[in-house]
Amino acid sequence: MSYETLRDALNSRETLIFGHRGAMARAPMNSMAAFELAGEQGADGIELDVHLSRDSQLVVIHDDTVDATTDGQGKVADMTLDQLKRLDAGAWYSDEFAGQGIPTLDEVIDAIGESLFINVEIKSPRESVDRLENRLASCVRRHNMRERIIVSCFDPVILRRVKQMMPMVLMGFLYQPDMPAAHYLPLKELWHEARHPRHDMVDEGYMRWARAQGYFVNVWTVNDPRRALQLKRLGVNSIMTDDPATIISALRQC
């Protein structure tokens, strides 16, 4: 895909494919190996999760603890970047990936920012976002990525604060069917360009509504090729998948 900006790519008639935490079906999630593999498989972009370390560094990991995906234990927010870098974040997946570390957002952008779009999901709690949003804004400016990333979050208050810091950057509101109605109230004060629903919320009626509102629709997490084809025909703008190779192969047959 030859689009320079994510907005132009989303405005195209193509359905973009984003590797969910990279190509996590075939490599450890949120690792450099998974991100690079997603690119090799032909993905248009990657989705990743960011937390703040104790020394305010943006690190790419899904959980707020390191327990599930490293050989360490403890909360990410309680550990310095140096401590996090000493952990093995690949051996839990398979011996083939032993030695993979927890990457920083800077490292990911340096490696693939020019070739892949990036969906940055904010995982840190609301009380730490003051530090995170400043770090994220600085990182985006430093790498000139304003037009190549989208920031997503389940918390509309966090998105609103980040949008104030980075008005040019696309924002996507993540949600799923079981969220209480009160959770949506802050959206009245948030200008955001995209909705990120769980894929089973999307049908023809949903797409008519989203188009009338002017939203891009980026769905998660789709690993069934038949469902991916349905969503492409419905006109979603992008599909997040754990297995880009399989979904891309299916869509090429459409």
> Is residue 124 pLDDT above 80, yes or no?
no
Instruction: Give the count of alpha carbons within 13 A of 137, CB side only.
Output: 15
What torsion, rounded to 10 degrees, do the Cα atoms 28, 29, 33, 34 define? Answer: 120
Cα Dmax for the chain: 49
How confident is the prediction for the chain on average, in pLDDT? 96
Give 6-252's CATH code, choosing from 3.40.190.10, 3.30.2090.10, 3.20.20.190, 3.30.460.20.
3.20.20.190
Q: What is the pLDDT of residue 130?
A: 74
> Is residue 7 pLDDT above 70, yes or no?
yes
List, for residues 37-68, the tens digit of each pLDDT value.
999 999 999 999 999 999 999 999 999 999 99
- Out of 51, 62, 196, 199, pick the active-site residue: 62
Q: What is the pLDDT of residue 48?
A: 98
Domain segments of the chain as ranges: 6-252
The lowest-confidence range among 53-57, 131-135, 193-197 is 131-135
Q: Do residues 170 and 194 make contact, with C-beta atoms less than 8 angstroms apart?
A: yes
What's the mean pLDDT in 152-167? 94
- 3-class SS of residue 105: helix
**Residue type present at position 35:** F
> Is residue 123 pLDDT above 90, yes or no?
no
Q: What is the pLDDT of residue 19?
A: 99
> Is residue 137 pLDDT above 80, yes or no?
yes
- Out of 20, 143, 192, 199, pick the active-site residue: 20
> Is residue 254 pLDDT above 80, yes or no?
no
How many C-beta neighbours within 10 Å does residue 42 have? 15
- Taking the C-alpha atoms of residue 172 and residue 105, their distance in angstroms, rounded to an integer, is 19
Q: In the annotation, is 62 catalytic?
A: yes
Q: In the annotation, is 192 catalytic?
A: no
Q: What is the 3-state secondary structure (H, E, C) of 141-162?
A: HHCCCCCCEEEEECCHHHHHHH
Instruction: Give the count of alpha carbons within 13 A of 162, CB side only.
Output: 35
What's the mean pLDDT in 88-105? 98
Which residues lie below 8 Å from residue 203, measured CB to CB, with a gap of 6+?
234
